[in-house]
Amino acid sequence: MSRLFNYINPISHLGDRKYSVIIPFVFTLASIIASEYFAFNIAKDPLIVGLYVIYTPLAYIVYFAFRFGIRGGLIVSLLTIIYYFYILYSRNFSGEQIQSGLQATLLFGSVFLVLGFLIGWLKQTVDVLIIQEADEKRRLQAVFHQLPIGAILADSAGTVTQVNKKVFEIFGKKIPLGTKVGKDTFVEYKENDKFVVPNQTPLYLAIHSGKSLVDKEYTIKRPDGKIRYIQVNSSAIYNKNKKTIAAVSIINDVTAQKELEERKDDFVNMASHELKTPLTSMKLYIDGLGIRLKDFKDDKTHKTLMGVKQQVIRLSDLVNNLLDVSRLQTGKLSLNKESFRLDLLISDAAEELAQVGPEIVFKAKTKTLVFADKFRLHQVLTNLISNAIKYTPSGDVITINLKKEDGKAVVSVKDKGIGIPSEQQKKIFDRLYQVTDPNTKTYPGLGMGLYISREIIKRHKGKIWVDSTPGLGSTFYFTVPLVKTGN
């Protein structure tokens, strides 16, 4: 029954382009025959044909044009016009009656033809539009399913409406369409080793609080026990009136990159350890050789040896930096905190570096007691001062300042060097970031110093930042907590 209704209902055939001529032809012909049968056999009055021969074809034209397009509309119209002629010439009308009959046929005939054509044309245009939209949808679907990243779509009510194949590959589990977002995470979902509850998943947050997440990292445990690292981007989709209509979550499996990174870190860690031992021995040998050469009073050889020592020290600093970076990556950099005078530490560091570089002025030598890791703060100071020297090709003076503020010591290292463009100022504290092109070799380095410094200061609950104008110079600041006695 419902199939029959479906077949009759013209709306359910919008978008299907099967335009039959036979069905409208047969139905119209049957209706004409019925009308003639009625006039001749039931009413027994051939002249009884009345308004119904106008309304019935009109209804047929509207229906068949809407159901079968232009052909449907035109075939009914043409048959009706022929029927009108047949009536006119089969009923013994008078000349005048035929005259007005012909006029009526002409009028109604043209109205029928135009109506049949227009409705049919409208139906065919709608069909084309529907097909185009369906094709577009199919194309999008194909792209959606072929995406090399996982994608989950949910509607505004929080029901999963689309899930592509990649999600299954990543999760190792199917997410059924129609699932309520926030009911289940489907797999063990963790962020920084803490479980993510279903109503904290990226898709849930996007739907219910409009919150967008960018490159958020999670680990998942698949049903087969495998751990995967995923990176998720999610956001709500709004309509013109800024109302949430859907939300999407894009999931990228970054397990391979993570494993490669871990292997790289392991390698750097191992290589640095291996390099450290021979370097320490080399330093000792050079010192020994230096003592022996002193007796020969050979200035040139002694100078060469000191050059070698300088380079070995540089190399071992680099290796130490590499080790620190890898310790930071693996969370193994620990601090040995003690109370000491920061002003004295700054003086020492400045003095050491002044021997090899330009003038270094440290004015504010007030006693400043801090609670921190002395060795690590010395490392930060050395890094900032040697950067100031390195990036001041003119050899201009470097000024260091120290003041106390809100229970913190604030240290600044100011140079009149090349400066740093404002858009780069935040990035220079990132791992391996360098503003100057490392390939030009104008300023040698690996971009590890400021990253290590930032991490050390962070672990002291302090802050590190820069204030700089390209061409005029830079001032680096950092803070560390003062010892609580109020010194």
Please state, in angstroms and rounded to a whole number, the distance separating the CA atoms of residues 477 and 457.
11
Of residues 60 and 391, the one with the C-beta less far from ligand ADP: 391
Please state, in angstroms and rounded to a whole number, the distance separating the CA atoms of residues 437 and 440.
6
Is residue 391 near ligand ADP by the rule CB under 6 A? yes
Residue written as token pair 């530490």 = 345
From 84-92, 231-239, 276-284, 412-420, give the range in contact with ligand ADP by CB under 6 A: 412-420
Q: How far is the CB of 447 from ligand ADP (least distance, A)?
A: 4
Is residue 474 near ligand ADP by the rule CB under 6 A? yes
Is residue 455 near ligand ADP by the rule CB under 6 A? no
Q: How far is the CB of 322 from ligand ADP (least distance, A)?
A: 12
Is residue 436 near ligand ADP by the rule CB under 6 A? yes
Please state, in angstroms and rounded to a whole number, the distance separating the CA atoms of residues 140 and 134.
10
From 51-59, 164-172, 309-317, 448-456, give the range in contact with ligand ADP by CB under 6 A: 448-456
Q: How far are the Cα atoms of 38, 72, 136, 329, 440 from residue 60, in angstroms, in the given order? A: 19, 9, 34, 79, 83
Q: How far is the CB of 449 from ligand ADP (least distance, A)?
A: 3
Of residues 337 and 416, the one with the C-beta less far from ligand ADP: 416
Of residues 161 and 436, the one with the C-beta less far from ligand ADP: 436
Q: Which of 109, 415, 455, 483 contacts ligand ADP by CB under 6 A?
A: 415
Of residues 119 and 389, the one with the C-beta less far from ligand ADP: 389
Please state, in angstroms and rounded to a whole number, the distance separating the CA atoms of residues 160 and 177.
5
Q: How far are the Cα atoms of 7, 25, 196, 277, 389 from residue 124, in angstroms, in the given order? A: 18, 19, 52, 83, 78
Q: Which two tokens stand for residue 37?
A: 């049968």
Count CA atoms within 13 Å of residue 479 on its CB side: 13
Is residue 447 near ligand ADP by the rule CB under 6 A? yes
Rg (CA), the chain: 43
Is 463 within 8 Å of 380 (Cβ atoms)? no
Q: How far is the CB of 404 from ligand ADP (least distance, A)?
A: 24
What phi, psi does 67 have (nearest 5°)?
-90, -40
Is residue 399 near ligand ADP by the rule CB under 6 A? no
From the list 31, 37, 16, 12, the residue with the least C-alpha distance to 76 is: 31
Of residues 187 and 420, the one with the C-beta less far from ligand ADP: 420
Is residue 360 near ligand ADP by the rule CB under 6 A? no
Buried b (16+ CB within 10 A) or exposed e, 377-392: bebbbbbbbbbbbbbb
Q: Which two tokens stand for residue 384?
A: 């900032």
Burial group, residue 326, by CB count within 10 angstroms (0-12, 13-18, 19+): buried
Of residues 38 and 433, the one with the C-beta less far from ligand ADP: 433
Q: Which of 24, 73, 449, 462 contacts ligand ADP by CB under 6 A?
A: 449
Count CA atoms within 13 Å of residue 453 on its CB side: 25
Is residue 434 near ligand ADP by the rule CB under 6 A? yes
Is residue 420 near ligand ADP by the rule CB under 6 A? yes
Is residue 446 near ligand ADP by the rule CB under 6 A? yes
Please state, in angstroms and rounded to a whole number, the distance separating the CA atoms of residues 457 and 92.
113
What phi, psi does 127 have (nearest 5°)?
-55, -50
Q: How far is the CB of 384 from ligand ADP (least distance, A)?
A: 7
Q: Which of 213, 352, 435, 481 contacts ligand ADP by CB under 6 A?
A: 435
Is residue 417 near ligand ADP by the rule CB under 6 A? yes
Is residue 220 near ligand ADP by the rule CB under 6 A? no
Please state, in angstroms and rounded to a whole number, the distance separating the CA atoms of residues 365 and 159.
66
Q: How far are the Cα atoms of 200, 206, 208, 211, 310 from residue 244, in angstroms, in the given order? A: 18, 9, 9, 11, 64
Q: Which of 388, 398, 402, 409 contacts ligand ADP by CB under 6 A?
A: 388
Q: How far is the CB of 416 from ligand ADP (least distance, A)?
A: 10
Q: Which of 372, 411, 428, 482 contacts ligand ADP by CB under 6 A?
A: 428
What phi, psi does 95 have (nearest 5°)?
-55, -40
Of residues 381 and 428, the one with the C-beta less far from ligand ADP: 428
Q: How far is the CB of 392 from ligand ADP (least distance, A)?
A: 7
Is residue 481 near ligand ADP by the rule CB under 6 A? no
Q: How far is the CB of 424 from ligand ADP (least distance, A)?
A: 7
From 51-59, 64-72, 153-161, 380-388, give the range in contact with ligand ADP by CB under 6 A: 380-388
Q: How far is the CB of 391 from ligand ADP (least distance, A)?
A: 3
Q: Which of 31, 105, 179, 387 contacts ligand ADP by CB under 6 A?
A: 387
Please state, in angstroms and rounded to a whole number, the distance separating the CA atoms of residues 308 and 282.
10
Is residue 450 near ligand ADP by the rule CB under 6 A? yes
Is residue 339 near ligand ADP by the rule CB under 6 A? no
Q: Minimal CB distance to ligand ADP: which residue? A: 445
Ramachandran assignment for 11, one of left (phi > 0), alpha (psi -120 to 50 degrees), beta (any other):
alpha
Of residues 196 and 384, the one with the C-beta less far from ligand ADP: 384
Residues that bind ligand ADP (CB under 6 A): 383, 387-388, 391, 415, 417-420, 428, 433-436, 445-451, 474
